[in-house]
Amino acid sequence: MSKKIVIIGSGSLVFSRTLTIDCLSYDHLKDSHFALVDIDEDRLKYSGQIVDRIIKDNDLTATYSMHTDRKEALEGADAVIISILTGGYEPIALETDIPMKYGVDISVGDTLSPGGVMRCLRTLPVLIDIAKDVVDICPEAWVLNYTNPMSMLCWGMLKAVPGIKLVGLCHSVQGGIKHWAKRMEIPLEDINYECAGINHEAWYTRVECNGEDLLPRMRAMTTDQKVWNGETSKMEIFKHFGYPVTEGAAHVSEYSPWFRKRPDLVQRYCHRDDNHWNGMHGLIKEIYDRPDWKEKMKEMAERDVKYELKRSHEYGSMIIAALFGGESSVIYGNVMNDGLIDNLPRESCVEVACFVDKNGIQPIHYGTLPSPLAAINSMQISVQKLAVEAALETDPEKVFQAIAMDPLTGAVLDLDDIRAMTRELMQAQKEWIPAFAERPLEDKPKLDYVKEAGNEWIVDSAEENINS
């Protein structure tokens, strides 16, 4: 019996096409029905044309439909894939440029930082509405979320709609180990590894090939100049804490207080002419500023070259194939920490190995992370928790508190400046966070140190304060 796969946000430039090809590469999914959903009718039209080409190029019996009405598309769904961008390019530019005015230098900003918190505020309400629709219309369907900030959004959806069958998916785990295999010139299929942590900051704590521990060899590569130049902050974390992190340097550089708090550090770690992914300022704007998207999608729909069913390394199709009659598989997914990583908060969203078969997605207990790695993860989890609570409770003070707890922001600004920056961000993005329209962030008086002299208060100098 054919399966119905709903793709919400099907108008993306590449992602929808990739997942469609991936699913159709499995024999038992070649007759699937793809329900494409997007609020942009032009993008939806092109995504339909691309799927039509894929089906015809490979002489398949698969079918598709196009929908601007999400509820209509969800009828009878077996799996739901979510990959959306709430607000488009404009809020991304705002949440990059406004922090920079205050000295908070963001590269990607889709996971942590002021950008990650603001993206959570404008995206989580939309995903909660989708989750509620799924539970009402197709409660047995598994939801595969690819939308960032991954941990915050999965945490918030599961808290608001506990009946949802949900896993969050990223490609940093399998992508990261692929890079290491290439560096070591070892076939990827010969490497066994174990990984755990949180999204964009999970850790490879075991890497082996034919019984050989590869971690000492990998540690030695952190001080190889060529390797270091390519992923500076990532190699610094590995060098000092002993284990490789999954995500690339552009992300890693903004998740801690160590790499972007001063211009000289940005110059050392993040500005590399030969590799923008090392953490150049505003990289996220370059990624999403695509005025040529219509021409690109038209080109994909009308290309002369035949589409081949060549499978990518995304986990989505592997999960769907295993759930519906294919071979079981192990993937890395983002789920709530129900005793999976012993030394991370139980109320947190973690990234761990998951076993997938016809019975569902079953997270695998990892155990205890090395203490320094758990400490680094915990810095992020505190931000995530406050951001989720801020969105669910429509609490502007928790928006401020989440941003104040961000490691990079706290390394650069004092609390008064963080409050001013948060207020400016919320005001600039009021169109996309309507729940906060009647709940602006309260102002607080900004004080300088003064001393009493008779009936007057006199501002004290820094030198006097130090010597008193």
Q: What is the DSSP string of 294-341?
A: HHHHHHHHH-SSPPP----S-HHHHHHHHHTTS--EEEEEEEE-SSSB
**Predicted local confidence at residue 468, as pLDDT:** 37
H helix and E strand count, the chain: 20, 14
pLDDT band at residue 466 using 50, 70 and 90 as cut-offs: very low
Tell whether the model's pLDDT for residue 307 goes beyond 90. Answer: yes
**Predicted local confidence at residue 363, as pLDDT:** 98
**Predicted local confidence at residue 265, as pLDDT:** 96
**Predicted local confidence at residue 335, as pLDDT:** 98
Between vectors from CA 286 to CA 40 and to CA 120, what angle results, nearest 5°? 60
> Which residue among the candidates 28, 33, 67, 171 is catalytic per the annotation?
171
Query: Which contiguous run of DSSP H or E holds residue 372?
Result: helix 371-393
**Predicted local confidence at residue 403, as pLDDT:** 98
Tell whether the model's pLDDT for residue 62 goes beyond 50. Answer: yes
- What Cα–Cα distance (Å) separates residue 8 from each residue in 42, 71, 127, 163? 15, 11, 10, 19
Query: How many other C-beta atoms can be found within 10 angstroms of the C-beta atom of residue 186?
Result: 17
User: How big is the chain by its Cα radius of gyration, in Å?
Assistant: 24
- What Cα–Cα distance (Å) separates residue 237 from each residue in 234, 245, 253, 275? 5, 8, 9, 18
Residues 216-221, mean pLDDT to the nearest whole number: 98
**Predicted local confidence at residue 451, as pLDDT:** 81
Q: What DSSP string describes 15-39?
A: HHHHHHHHHHTSGGGTT-EEEEE-S
Residue pair 351/202 in contact by the 8 Å Cβ criterion: yes
Distance CA 441, CA 394 (A): 11
HSE, CB side, 13 Å, CA atoms: give it for residue 154.
30
Q: Tokens 């894929």 appear where?
A: 54
pLDDT digits (tens, 9 = 90+) for 344-383: 999 999 999 999 999 999 999 999 999 999 999 999 999 9
- Output DSSP code: residue 311: -
Q: Pick the range with the lowest mean pLDDT from 12-21, 150-159, 431-440, 454-463.
A: 454-463
For this structure, is 171 an active site residue? yes
Q: What is the mean pLDDT of the chain?
A: 95
Q: Is 14 helix (H, G, I), strand (E, B) or coil?
A: coil
List every span in the chain annotated with CATH 3.90.1820.10. Answer: 4-86+119-171+293-323, 87-118+172-281+329-468
Residues 309-315, mean pLDDT to the nearest whole number: 95
Please, which residues have CB within 8 angstroms of residue 369's CB and are 6 or more apart in sequence? 196, 197, 203, 205, 341, 343, 344, 377
Q: Is 367 helix (H, G, I), strand (E, B) or coil?
A: strand
Q: Pick the range with the lowest mean pLDDT from 16-25, 285-294, 394-403.
A: 285-294
Name 6's bridge partners. Answer: 35, 80
**Predicted local confidence at residue 461, as pLDDT:** 54
Residue count of the chain, please give it. Answer: 468
| 4-86+119-171+293-323 has CATH 3.90.1820.10 classification | yes
pLDDT band at residue 463 using 50, 70 and 90 as cut-offs: very low
Residues 252-278, mean pLDDT to the nearest whole number: 90
Q: What is the pTM of this model?
A: 0.95
HSE, CB side, 13 Å, CA atoms: give it for residue 422.
33
Q: Is 248 helix (H, G, I), strand (E, B) or coil?
A: coil
Comparison of pLDDT for 389 and 463, the residue scoring more: 389
Taking phi over 0 as left and psi of -120 to 50 as alpha, with beta for the rest, 24 belongs to alpha
Distance CA 35, CA 81 (A): 10
CATH topology of domain 87-118+172-281+329-468: LDH C-terminal domain-like (3.90.1820)
Tell whether the model's pLDDT for residue 464 goes beyond 60. Answer: no
- Output DSSP code: residue 441: P
- Output DSSP code: residue 344: S
HSE, CB side, 13 Å, CA atoms: give it for residue 235.
21
Tell whether the model's pLDDT for residue 401 goes beyond 60. Answer: yes
- What Cα–Cα distance (Å) separates residue 79 from each residue in 1, 12, 27, 33, 363? 14, 18, 17, 11, 18
SS3 content of the chain, % helix, strand, coil (to 5): 50, 15, 35
Tell whether the model's pLDDT for residue 203 goes beyond 60. Answer: yes
Residues 169-180, mean pLDDT to the nearest whole number: 97
Q: Is 453 helix (H, G, I), strand (E, B) or coil?
A: strand
